[in-house]
């Protein structure tokens, strides 16, 4: 009798997993759409900032969802839904190497509007790469007493390496800091790199993370300031070069840099995607996705999300410029230094 009770209890406990853990969502087009839309509705942070009526989009798209849709049709429908957000931090992945990034057309175009080879051969004397860092290189502009630094990501391990570069540039009259195609990374790395050019402690932005199901549920804002060390800073003119693919932590870097008096931005408007991105989210059919979960605001409460950093001097290369061995952004920056500061 005791054995029977024991066995029955064990069987009951093992099987109670099925009742305790609710049923799996069925693998249907409707379920996939509903999970996807609802997850954005409850977690995405920029509906208000980007003036998105997510409920209206539901009404418009939900009617197109039925079980007869092919996988490709459903993919296109979800991709089209997130395109409305115009937020390249929002990405849908199919798990087989294919992805769709919202609002990415201009960013993608800009890849052909810069040439590393052109910079190496025509503009910089000897471009040295910092091996410990990710896409950090520097050299002097040919025939001029101007330093050039290329910073293509904010994913490096040792931001102090910027001080070594600046020590080497102690006699240059200005620096061109090229963050075109900067794909972002760690905001803390961006802050540490910017510190090397700082002229003081300034309140530059606030961050609030969405923390509830309503579109306006956010946690307390956290203030971010520039850091400053007067013994380790480059205070001569700095021109920062940007394009449409300067994004995320690259744009956070610009928030720091543009608060300094001696920094000028030349190039194209940046991507306008500032938020930290979410953890990967999952759909029953194997697709997965990410989105923005924060609101980054300027001290005056305005947001640059969806706008980007508008340059002090707007200029962008075309594919033809690059083919003609001409980098108009670099040329404009050099002319600016000559016209404004007499630096040649």
Partner 1 sequence: MKTALTLFFLLFFRHPSVLAQAQESFPTHYIGIGIGYSFDHISDQNFSPLHQKGQGLFYTLFYEQRKENILKITLTYGNNSLKSGANDDFTSDHYFVDVGISYLKNLAASDAATKFYLGGAYGLRITYLDWKDQDAFSYIATNGLSLSGAVETKINDKQRIGTRVAIPVVQFLSRPPYNGIDEFIIAHQDNPATILFNGKLASFESYKAITWNINYSREILAHFNWNVNYNFSLQKLDQEQEYKSISNRISTSVLYKF
Among 121, 211, 214, 235, binds partner 1 (CB under 8 A): 211
Please report whether residue 20 would count as binding partner 1 according to CB under 8 A: yes
Nearest to 172 by CA among 136, 210, 125: 125
Separation CA 274–CA 236 (nearest Å): 28
Q: 185-194 burial by CB neighbour count: b if 16+ within 10 A, else e?
A: bbbebbbbbb
The span of 24-32, 145-153, 167-175, 194-202 binding partner 1 (CB under 8 A) equals: 24-32
Please report whether residue 256 would count as binding partner 1 according to CB under 8 A: no
Q: What is the size of the binding site for partner 1 (CB under 8 A)?
A: 40
Q: Name the residue nearer to partner 1 (CB basis): 188 or 335.
A: 188
Q: Tokens standing for 221?
A: 């804002």
Q: 76-93 burial by CB neighbour count: b if 16+ within 10 A, else e?
A: ebbeebbbbbbbbbbbbb
- Look-up of token digits 């609802």: 38
Write down the least CB distance from residue 290 to partner 1, Å: 8
Q: Name the residue nearer to partner 1 (CB basis): 3 or 126.
A: 3
CA angle 323/153/304 to nearest 5° reads 90
* H-run or E-run covering 34: helix 29-43
Write down the least CB distance from residue 73 to partner 1, Å: 18
Q: 242-276 burial by CB neighbour count: b if 16+ within 10 A, else e?
A: bbbbbbbbbbbbbbbbbbbebbbbbbbbbbbbbbb
Nearest to 208 by CA among 216, 200, 198: 216
Please report whether residue 282 would count as binding partner 1 according to CB under 8 A: yes
CB 123 within 8 A of CB 327: yes
Please report whether residue 222 would count as binding partner 1 according to CB under 8 A: yes
Convert residues 171-210 into a mask of x (bound to partner 1 by CB under 8 A) and - (unbound).
----------------xx------------------x-xx
Among 1, 5, 17, 72, binds partner 1 (CB under 8 A): 17
Convert residues 28-67 into a mask of x (bound to partner 1 by CB under 8 A) and - (unbound).
-------x---x---x-x----------------------
Pairing of strands 288-290, 91-93: antiparallel
Q: Name the residue nearer to partner 1 (CB basis): 242 or 303.
A: 303
Q: Which residues bind partner 1 (CB under 8 A)?
A: 6, 10, 13-14, 16-17, 20-22, 24-25, 27, 35, 39, 43, 45, 95, 187-188, 207, 209-213, 217, 219, 222, 276, 278-286, 288, 293
């Amino acid at each position: 009798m005791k054995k029977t009770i024991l066995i029955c209890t064990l069987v009951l406990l093992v099987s109670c997993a099925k009742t305790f853990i609710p049923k799996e969502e069925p693998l249907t087009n409707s379920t996939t759409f509903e999970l996807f839309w609802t997850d954005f509705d409850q977690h995405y942070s920029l509906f208000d900032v980007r003036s998105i009526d997510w409920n209206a989009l539901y009404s418009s798209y939900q009617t197109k969802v039925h079980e007869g849709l092919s996988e490709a049709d459903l993919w296109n429908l979800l991709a089209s839904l997130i395109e409305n957000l115009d937020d390249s931090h929002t990405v849908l992945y199919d798990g087989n190497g294919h992805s769709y990034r919202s609002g990415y057309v201009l960013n993608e175009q800009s890849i052909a509007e810069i040439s590393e080879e052109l910079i190496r051969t025509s503009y910089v004397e000897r471009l040295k790469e910092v091996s410990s860092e990710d896409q950090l290189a520097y050299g002097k502009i040919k025939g001029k007493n101007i330093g050039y630094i290329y910073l293509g990501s904010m994913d490096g391990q040792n931001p102090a390496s910027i001080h070594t570069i600046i020590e080497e540039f102690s006699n240059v009259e200005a620096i061109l800091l090229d963050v075109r195609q900067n794909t972002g990374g760690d905001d803390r790395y961006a802050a540490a790199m910017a510190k090397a050019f700082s002229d003081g402690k300034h309140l530059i932005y606030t961050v609030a993370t969405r923390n509830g199901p309503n579109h306006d549920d956010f946690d307390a804002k956290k203030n971010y300031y520039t850091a400053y060390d007067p013994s380790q800073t480059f205070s001569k003119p700095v021109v920062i070069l940007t394009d449409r693919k300067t994004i995320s932590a690259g744009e956070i870097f610009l928030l720091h840099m543009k608060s300094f008096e001696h920094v000028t931005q030349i190039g194209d408007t940046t991507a306008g995607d500032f938020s930290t991105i979410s953890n990967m989210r999952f759909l029953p059919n194997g697709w997965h996705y990410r989105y923005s979960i924060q609101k980054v605001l300027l001290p005056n409460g305005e947001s640059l999300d969806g706008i980007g950093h508008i340059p002090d001097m707007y200029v962008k290369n075309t594919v033809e410029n690059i083919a003609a061995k001409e980098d108009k952004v670099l040329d404009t920056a050099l002319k600016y230094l000559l016209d404004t500061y007499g630096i040649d």
